[in-house]
Homo-oligomer: A and B are copies of this chain.
Amino acid sequence: MLPNNKNNTAKTYKLALDAMGGDNSPYSVVAGANLFAEKNSNIFFIFFGDKEKLEPILNKHSKLKKCSEVVHTTEFISADEKPSTALRKSKNSSMRLAIEAVKNGKADAIVSAGNTGALMVMSKLILKTLDGIDRPAICTIIPTKKGSSLLLDMGANSACDAENLAQFAIMGDAFAKAALTVESPSIGLLNIGSEELKGHETVRVANQILGEEYTHLNYHGYVEGDDIMTGVVDVIVTDGFTGNIALKAIEGTAKILTGFFKEGFKASIFSRIGFLFSALSLKHVFKRIDPRNHNGAMFVGLNGISIKSHGNADKLGFANALKVAVNLIENKINDKIIEELRLTNNNNNQ
């Protein structure tokens, strides 16, 4: 039985999980939930997926089984399905049913490692956009020199106008308060130079709106590509085209450089011995840049919390996406966005 946590002082949160999404599903989804459940006793998991496949895995995790249920469906959306086809044909897919659970108040958030386009289109259609938000965006957490920052949009909107970018700043601000628990997050607008005349028209107008109208935000001004990983600001705002390319460029570079270093250690008997001596300190470095520890992006700007895990996440990565989901539920991300929008409107009406 699913416990009802409305007005429950114990604050049990219910997560709807698309158990059939992602490269390693359903194993990573269940094992990730188990990992998360071991440290968090106040979560109830609803797995949407094939009972035949899920139950044997759940049977190995008796504690998790007690705080979860399976909603059976054999339909699922494949990674290469076009979003429009997924929308038309997959009424009973694990992803869609999981999103609907949030819509119907049966869950507090949906988490999926499945098809990003389909998850985005379906979440938008089912959960609907928050009043006052024109375009939802994908907001992701990235590791930086100082800790963590947020980057949005990550690919929901290939082309954006200045007003969209300014709204991304509002959503990023609320996300940073909720997920990074930063009191007054600093916000930067991604551009190709810090001088006033650089960049294109859209980014210059957005800079003006953020600097002159959205005065309740802690707006830092322009930042450049090399400021992202430095952690100069808590929130980096850009259009979905640039954001997606920047993030993937960073991930690709990190992967290749880590590979170079690993190769370097294997190059000779001396370097192998060297690695043994350095292993403990280097383990800390590898952990610091491990993408699994930063997994979990949100479609922000919707009437509900919809979280995207990396498609190739293992149990550790998936558990991290669950942590992001619970942080955002607990810290009421959407209430914060609504409050930010109210402040913005007040400013503009003064």
A residues with a Cβ closer than 8 A to B are: 80, 82, 117, 144-145, 155, 158-159, 190, 192-193, 195, 197-201, 203, 224-230, 238, 240-242, 244-261, 263-265, 267-268, 270-271, 273-282, 284-285, 288-289
A251 to B250, CA, bound (A): 9
Question: Cβ of A264: which chain B residues have Cβ within 8 Å of it?
Answer: 278, 281-282, 284-285
Out of B193, B273, B274, B288, name the residue touching A260 (CB < 8 Å).
Answer: B288
The 7 closest A-B CB pairs, nearest first, are: A225-B248, A274-B278, A274-B277, A226-B252, A267-B281, A271-B281, A158-B200
Question: Cβ of A203: which chain B residues have Cβ within 8 Å of it?
Answer: 241
A259 to B257, CA, bound (A): 12
A282 to B271, CA, bound (A): 8
**Closest partner residue, chain B, to A263 (CB atom):** B285
Report yes or no: A230 in contact with B252, Cβ–Cβ below 8 A: yes
A276 to B192, CA, bound (A): 40
**Closest partner residue, chain B, to A273 (CB atom):** B277
Report yes or no: A197 in contact with B82, Cβ–Cβ below 8 A: yes
Question: Cβ of A80: which chain B residues have Cβ within 8 Å of it?
Answer: 195
Question: Cβ of A230: which chain B residues have Cβ within 8 Å of it?
Answer: 252, 256
8 example contacts (A-B, Cβ-Cβ < 8 A) are as follows A145-B259, A159-B200, A225-B246, A253-B257, A264-B285, A270-B281, A274-B274, A274-B276
Question: Cβ of A274: which chain B residues have Cβ within 8 Å of it?
Answer: 273-279, 281
Report yes or no: B280 in contact with A270, Cβ–Cβ below 8 A: yes
Q: How far is the CB of A202 from chain B (nearest CB, A)?
A: 9
Asked, given contacts A200-B158, A247-B225, A275-B274, whether A268 binds B255 with beta carbons under 8 Å apart, the answer is no
Q: How far is the CB of A337 from chain B (nearest CB, A)?
A: 25
Out of B158, B263, B279, B289, name the residue touching A257 (CB < 8 Å).
Answer: B289
Asked, given contacts A226-B255, A257-B257, whether A278 binds B275 with beta carbons under 8 Å apart, the answer is yes
Report yes or no: A249 in contact with B228, Cβ–Cβ below 8 A: yes
Asked, given contacts A260-B289, A264-B278, A278-B274, whether A192 binds B253 with beta carbons under 8 Å apart, the answer is no
Question: Cβ of A197: which chain B residues have Cβ within 8 Å of it?
Answer: 82
Question: Cβ of A201: which chain B residues have Cβ within 8 Å of it?
Answer: 159
A258 to B261, CA, bound (A): 9
